[in-house]
Amino acid sequence: MEFQDKVAEYAPKLEALQQKLALDGVEFIQVHTVDTSGAFRSKITPLKLSTYGEAINAILYCVAHGDGQPMGDVAFASPTANEENGFPNIKGIIDPGTVVQHGWKPEYASAITFSYMLDGSPCPYDPRGVLARVEQRAAALGYEPRFALEYEFGIFHADHDLMRAGRYRELKPWGHSLTNYDLVRSGEYQDFAAELIRRMKSIGIGVASLVTEYGFGMYEYALTPKTALQAADDAMRAKLHLRELCAERGLVATFMTRFQPPGKESACGAHHHVSLWKDGKPAFAAGPNKLTPVAEKFLAGVLHRMQETHLLFRPTVNSYRRFDRGAWSPEDVAWGFENRTAPIRAITTPNDGACRFEHRAPGADINPYLSIAAILAAGCEGIEKDLALEAPVSGDLAALDKPKLPHTLNASIEAFANSDFCAEAFGEAFRNNYAESRRAEQAAFEAWQASHITDFEWQRYFIN
């Protein structure tokens, strides 16, 4: 849908919301745009739900992780914003379905945008737009996809001097133990959990649980199921508002996938639970350890494209430090009923409504719009092409001759960049731009390595 058509559709809704929010005491609004890496880029303004669009800096679709720290590589080469075109603005429109008033700060509301090019065409680099188009593909098949994401993350006591100096490893974890499911890891933990759940409920986000994970400073929350685009919106908002709550309490949260050395304690996953529904009924459910034909086709598609889409599940250098089959971080292309060592765990109990697939490859550093789009697009292809599902696996996957997921960022980039499926599913312009963003990430890491003498070198060679 072109920009003017979207404005015509949304304007009456935005006008009504403007009046309602003003009557409810809202004075300010946070307007969020999703960047390529999966962060909200936001502005705070007096309450104004524009019916003619928002100005969006196009550099948001070519900005580096962490705005280029520690290398200073602020942006990567991209057709959306560069020296030749003068780094222009493009246009956005607030999605009325995302406008919410904050229960814990009722003077604030927030909203999320869709992005458009200056000629009025949908911005091909907008992750939210990519997912919306894939969701329409599922709807055309007659299904409503539902996703629920669970995030593992770290919480530390904030020390801004250490953080400004880049000395993150010196931060102290929040809580005194590394035990799973511990209610007394710190005296403030239960109050913190209650406040997060309360805040999320006030903006329509369900938190199914919040638990301590195995590891010092490790925690996990699970969100309740929503449709695909809503689930990604919820995931982004939950991360933002968790970080806000931490900041208010002298804490800081991290979603990097591994902040402990490999093999020590836990890494941070973001498992995706997915199901399809039709006419209000679960389309995957066929009883314990059984799947419907459409579930088998969907899963066959997900497995068939898992190597090509792997970059969207492990998008950073740090992602690949999380590989550990023994710690249930998958390395193979396989599936099994209740098998946590496989990337796809099929869950068929305790009832039909709970039947779903758990995709275990994504880490907490994903862009949820893109990881959800990857799963959904591959599953839709499986249905469309009537793909056959391989047999489930059980036991030790290391002993089985299963295809392996790419084990480096470079390998994942090349699989993605050369994928005709990814070009068709997400758009060729998006595929190329995203691959370039990841090449820039790898290049920044390699440049940093080349400019530093490592601890290995000091300890191994200094006295010899």
Q: What was the pLDDT predicted at 398? A: 77
Q: Are strands 54-57 and 144-157 parallel, antiparallel or unpaired?
A: unpaired
Q: What was the pLDDT predicted at 324? A: 81
Mean pLDDT, rounded, for 394-417:
91
User: Does the pLDDT value for residue 326 go beyond 80?
Assistant: no
User: Does the pLDDT value for residue 310 go beyond 80?
Assistant: yes
Q: What pLDDT, in 10s, does the model give residues 159-174?
A: 999 999 999 999 999 9
Which two structure tokens, joined as six digits, stand for 27?
A: 């004075």
**All domains of the chain in start order, with CATH:** 3-123 (3.10.20.70), 137-426 (3.30.590.10)
pLDDT-derived band of residue 319, with 50, 70 and 90 as boundaries? very high
Q: What was the pLDDT predicted at 109? A: 98
**3-state secondary structure (DSSP) of residue 7:** helix
pLDDT-derived band of residue 135, with 50, 70 and 90 as boundaries? very high
Which two structure tokens, joined as six digits, stand for 221?
A: 């929350």
Residues above pLDDT 70, as percent of the chain: 100
d(CA 361, CA 25): 43
Which two structure tokens, joined as six digits, stand for 345?
A: 């765990």
Q: What pLDDT, in 10s, does the model give residues 203-246?
A: 999 999 999 999 999 999 999 999 999 999 999 999 999 999 99
Give the distance from CA 385 to its chain's centroid: 27
Q: What was the pLDDT predicted at 83? A: 83
Q: Dump strand ranges (E) for 134-217.
A: 144-157, 207-212
Mean pLDDT estimate for the chain = 95
Mean pLDDT, rounded, for 397-419:
93
Long-range CB contact pairs, 434-440, < 8 A, 24+: 434/36, 434/311, 434/370, 435/311, 436/76, 436/77, 436/78, 437/36, 437/37, 437/62, 437/64, 437/76, 437/78, 438/311, 438/315, 438/409, 438/412, 438/413, 439/76, 439/413, 440/64, 440/73, 440/76, 440/77
- Its pTM stands at 0.96
